[in-house]
């Protein structure tokens, strides 16, 4: 089991030093592979990434949806398209070639959440309102969503999609931190240590997350995103 020992100055320093040695040149957000032009594509990407291979499974489906529905440029339109089908599952099968009832409900739940939460923010463009949400949200806010199958890592990845400088504690981040400390760590501990360490040495969180994912995935079986869907 992962250890939830207290966050210490020594552990933060170890992670910061490892990051500094691993990234002598600072990665850029321009290198990110998952940035899409419209919010609906970001939401689909985020949900389809849960415990799935990104390059072989998720990305082709998002691209195909974008090609089939260039008119779906905001979340209201995505919501309306989903609701045209008898169920979210039927939408998922037809539009995403994804036969998972639970994930189809997660997709609708995340879409509904973002439509509602952005009303709290100003800005003419949906992306501007979602950026404000992503930057002001906190990791612990994931519990307030109460969306089955959508846990901390998925929530963090959603924030990253809309511009927040943070990380998702997926299997690659947890593995990196665990190797540095010589013990297994939980999602929460990995997240806190990475956010604290990268801030201390002034590294961009999203780019670091992506760079670690690339390095780790290249050594394993493909590019499994493996974002946890633990919502407990």
Q: What is the pLDDT of residues 146-186, one digit of tens each?
A: 898 899 999 999 999 999 999 999 999 999 999 999 999 99
User: When comparing pLDDT for 204 and 115, which is higher?
Assistant: 115
pLDDT confidence of residue 6: 62
pLDDT confidence of residue 33: 62
pLDDT confidence of residue 2: 52
d(CA 107, CA 104): 5
pLDDT confidence of residue 222: 40
Catalogue the E-assigned strands of 85-162: none
Residue 78 has pLDDT above 60, yes or no: yes
Q: What is the mean pLDDT of the chain?
A: 88
Q: Of 109, 106, 8, give the one whose Cα is nearest residue 50.
A: 106
**Residue 133 in contact with residue 118, Cβ under 8 Å?**
yes
- When pLDDT is averaged across residues 48-70 and rounded to a whole number, the result is 94
pLDDT confidence of residue 149: 87
Residue 94 has pLDDT above 60, yes or no: yes
pLDDT confidence of residue 211: 86
What is the percent of the chain where pLDDT is above 90? 70
pLDDT confidence of residue 163: 92
pTM of this structure: 0.87
User: When comparing pLDDT for 224 and 181, which is higher?
Assistant: 181
Token pair, residue 186, equals 């939980």
Query: Based on C-alpha coordinates, what's the Rg of the chain?
Result: 18
Q: Where does the pLDDT of residue 221 fall: very low under 50, low under 70, confident under 90, or very high at 90 and above?
A: very low
Residues paired with 3 in a beta bridge: 185
Token pair, residue 22, equals 């691993």
Of 25-29, 59-63, 72-76, the poorest mean pLDDT is in 25-29
pLDDT confidence of residue 27: 67
pLDDT confidence of residue 232: 37
Residue 223 has pLDDT above 50, yes or no: no
- When pLDDT is averaged across residues 88-101 and rounded to a whole number, the result is 97
Residue 227 DSSP one-character state: -
């Amino acid at each position: 089991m992962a250890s939830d020992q207290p966050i210490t100055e020594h552990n933060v320093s170890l992670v910061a030093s490892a990051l500094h040695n691993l990234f002598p040149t600072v990665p850029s957000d321009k290198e990110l592979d998952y940035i899409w032009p419209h919010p609906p594509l970001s939401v689909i990407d985020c949900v389809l990434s849960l415990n799935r291979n990104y390059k072989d499974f998720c990305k082709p489906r998002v691209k195909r949806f974008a090609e089939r529905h260039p008119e779906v440029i905001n979340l209201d339109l995505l919501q309306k398209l989903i609701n045209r089908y008898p169920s979210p599952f039927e939408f998922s099968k037809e539009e995403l070639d994804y036969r998972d009832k639970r994930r189809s409900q997660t997709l609708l739940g995340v879409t509904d959440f973002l439509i509602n939460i952005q009303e709290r923010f100003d800005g003419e463009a949906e992306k501007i309102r979602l950026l404000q949400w992503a930057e002001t949200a906190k990791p612990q806010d994931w519990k307030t969503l109460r969306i089955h199958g959508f846990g901390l890592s998925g929530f963090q990845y959603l924030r990253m999609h809309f511009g927040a400088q943070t990380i998702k504690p997926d299997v690659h981040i947890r593995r990196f931190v665990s190797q540095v400390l010589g013990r297994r760590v939980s999602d929460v501990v990995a997240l806190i240590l990475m956010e604290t360490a990268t801030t201390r040495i002034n590294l961009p969180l999203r780019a670091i997350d992506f760079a670690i994912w690339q390095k780790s995935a290249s050594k394993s079986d493909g590019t499994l995103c493996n974002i946890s869907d633990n919502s407990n």
